[in-house]
Amino acid sequence: MFDRKKFQESIERILKLEFCKILEKAESYEKYYAVSKALIENIVDRWNETEELYKKGKQAYYLSAEFLMGRALGNNLINLGIYEEVKKALDEMNIDINLIEEIEEDAGLGNGGLGRLAACFMDSCATMNLPVTGYGIRYSHGIFKQKFVDGFQVEEGDNWLKYGDPWSVRRSEDTVIVEFSDGAVKAVPYDTPIIGYDTKNINKLRLWKAEPIKDFDFKLFNEQEYDEAVKEKNRAEDISRVLYPNDSKNEGKILRLKQQYFFVSASLKDLIKKHKEKFGKNFEIFSDYHAIQLNDTHPVVAIPELMRIFIDEEGLSWEKAWEITKNTFSYTNHTILAEALEQWWSGFYKEILPRIYEIIKEIDKRFVIQLKEKGYSNNKINSMRIIADDMIKMAHLAIHGTHTTNGVAKLHTEILKHQELKDWYELYPERFQNKTNGITPRRWLKLCNKELSEMITELLGTDNWIKDLSILKELEKYLDDEKVLNRFLEIKKKKKEELADYIYANEGICIDPNSIFDIQIKRLHEYKRQLLNAFHILDLYYRLKENPKMDILPRTFIFGAKAAPGYFRAKGIIKFINEIAKLINNDSEIDGKIKVVFVQNYRVSYAEKLFPAADISEQISTAGKEASGTGNMKFMLNGTPTLGTYDGANVEIVKEAGEENNFIFGARVEEIEKIKETYDPIEYYEKVSGLKRVVDTLIDGTFDDDKTGMFEELYNSLLKGASWHRPDNYFLFRDFDDYREAHKMVDKAYRDRLGWAKKCLKNIANAGKFSSDRTIEEYAKEIWNIKAIRDS
């Protein structure tokens, strides 16, 4: 029961304790902090009770280098079911809830879909009362804050902790020591409550902060060696300072390796400690009580680390340790790209983690014996080895050292089984599963699109859909109801107006809410083909210049993406798109028919405004390259048709909602497999109308890359290739004309407003499969073997 008066008193008390201020004198961020702390105070008993409750049975642990949580306040109020009550309490105190929600920094501890998926999974586990704990790193700075200077991406530190973190609790009593060959560091846990929707249970995300064993050398300081006096402190804190530090040099690579080992070693020591407190040294039953999910290859070093703990510290035999380890771990593969299947030069392991390297070497040795006994040829064995050509293949170690490997969309899993990991599937067919990704409807509909949520609840006569998204299927009975369709269109218009206001306030660009909002928001990578989108926009612009009376509906193209700091080509694509935006947005002759916006510092809180406002969801990756995608699901849930390739979860979206309610184009996986060896992009470049013209703008002086060579390098990658790939490696030229035709179909379909609304509602009604609740239920039953535990 929410006690309004007690809550208000807590806020005033916390303001005095933390900031020595009365309410009237407090800054917005101080009010945000106090409100959040007051909510923690309100739930702490339930949090502790849940922890005790979960100790009774088997638990699962989700190890991930990323947790892209986003803002906590609004989402937690929604899940606690007290948003309106808190709003009223704050209104009485003259606190604007919208203002303090906006002041909260995004907890940007992730780079993209992998980290946001982990966050959605945490929400679903808590909502479904599943005993699951997340483990990761408490980076003091997130991926980076992005701004554009003359169209170039510039990275700045993302100090998300500048106002403190009211949602985490330091648990010094659970500190552990993590050892490297060049020294040891303390791993100090910070626990964040994961509040599920409509449940008393509260789960936990435990993030580790690296601290020095000795943070200050007084003797050196006294000798005025000031830098040396804090050297150990700085080197230790570097480990948890920044998510994915640039690894273009060996120092960066070593730091990344230390990050990976740091959080898995700390997490495993935490689990071993708790196991021994309950069961002593009875490790025979370890996997009966602990299931560990490795989210991609970043935490795969956990496999040899658990072996080390069992053998070196607990005295188990190799055979027994291996059996327990294998039965404890499962692995999620998130990529089809060969270059993204993580591998490490063995020299780094020998230097930093020599004992871990010895264990991996022994795993590899025994694996080779196993394959020889099965009659594998030397060539086949060499292609499957865990250590080959002095490189440690982390995906190979992951599959061999776990009981289950899963893909994240049906097409992705099939490609893994029959192409990329075919040999492994033939060796361990029983280990491969599919778990199509999902998203939490709490954040991605109820929180970010309150108007649409209210309409759905009203139409269905229940809000049970928030915990059972399959109920949305009942919306299909309104597909021909003009009143409902028009209401949806009004809601979409309102969200577009809100986004237009937000973009004007943040980017200084005025966009027309009556235009089609065509949005591509995701990590910047060549295979995601933001460049194809850019080429089409430029082609449309040139056609408009040639024929100013061309009949097209006004279109606003919106991009949001960050390029990795060391990814030169991706940064070139950002600069190119910004050059196109400058050209088009300043040309009065086209009468505002097209506009281009690249929003700065794309993040979860920005996404919460973009998804509800979109008319078109751009999901245009090269077929067979996107493992799943979850942005496509967020768009779908908010009533946005997909314009995309037959790739990743697009395949399943189209199956659920119908191809006639989306816009699918381009070569499919089967065609690409047939043509990739003989593909000649020059043929398309020269023959496809308009293509050469837009591609040549990279080198003909139309746009200026400030002599960086970015545009010429992009041009050469398409026409000449590079040492590591063929020309037009992602088939932009092959799909260009198909893509252009798909856009024409969008223009035609959008003119029928009720017909368009019907497509949108059809997508919403069939989004039920893409709930992370469904995904997590499958993990719980089919991989982790855990059951829901409810606080009665």
Planar angle of CA 767, 770, 773, nearest 5 degrees:
125
Question: How many Å apart are CA 491 and CA 482, to the nearest integer?
Answer: 14
Copy the structure tokens of residue 576: 């190119």
Beta pairing class for 132-137 and 59-63 = parallel
The reply to whether 522 belongs to the active site is yes
| Residues belonging to the chain | 792
Pick the catalytic residue from 523, 525, 603, 609: 523
Rounded to the nearest 5 degrees, what angle is found at the Cα of 738, between the Cα atoms of 647 and 710? Answer: 80
- In order, the DSSP letters of 696-713 are HTTTSSSS--TTSSHHHH
Catalytic residue among 326, 634, 734, 740: 634
DSSP secondary structure of 86-104: HHHHHHHTT--HHHHHHHS
* E strand or H helix that includes residue 536: helix 530-546
Cα separations in angstroms, 194 against 41, 76, 129, 162: 14, 8, 11, 22
In the sheet that holds 343-345, the strands lie side by side as 343-345, 391-393, 387-388
Contact present, 596 and 511 (Cβ < 8 Å): no
Rounded-to-integer distance, Cα 295 and Cα 246, Å: 21
Catalytic residue among 116, 431, 528, 562: 528
634 tagged catalytic:
yes
For the question of residue 762 being annotated catalytic, the response is no
- Measured CA to CA, the distance from residue 617 to residue 611 in angstroms comes to 9
Per the DSSP assignment, residues forming a β-bridge with 644 are 619, 664
CB neighbours of 222 closer than 8 A, spacing ≥ 6? Answer: none
Structure tokens that stand for 290 in this block: 């602990």
Its sign, for the CA torsion 679, 682, 687, 688, is positive
In the set 186, 206, 241, 334, the catalytic residue is 334
Per-residue exposure over 140-171, b if at least 16 CB sit within 10 Å of its own CB, e if not: bbbbbbbebeebbbebeebebeebebbbbeee
Name which of 607, 608, 616, 664 is nearest 640 in CA terms: 616
Q: Which H/E stretch holds residue 205?
A: strand 202-212
Q: Does 528 qualify as catalytic in the annotation? A: yes
Give the other-Cβ count within 10 Å of 248's Cβ: 13
415 φ, ψ to 5°? Answer: -65, -40
Q: 210 — phi, psi (to 5°)? A: -85, 130
The residue annotated as part of the active site, out of 328, 413, 436, 630, is: 630
Residue keyed to tokens 């060796």:
427
Whether 256 contacts 262, CB under 8 Å: no
412 is catalytic: no
Tokens at 562, concatenated: 């960050």
For 664: left if phi > 0, alpha if psi spans -120 to 50, otherwise beta; the answer is: beta
* Closest among 202, 140, 195, 206 to 173, alpha carbons compared: 206
Among candidate residues 326, 417, 522, 562, the one labeled active-site is 522
Q: Which residues are catalytic?
A: 334, 522-523, 528, 630, 634
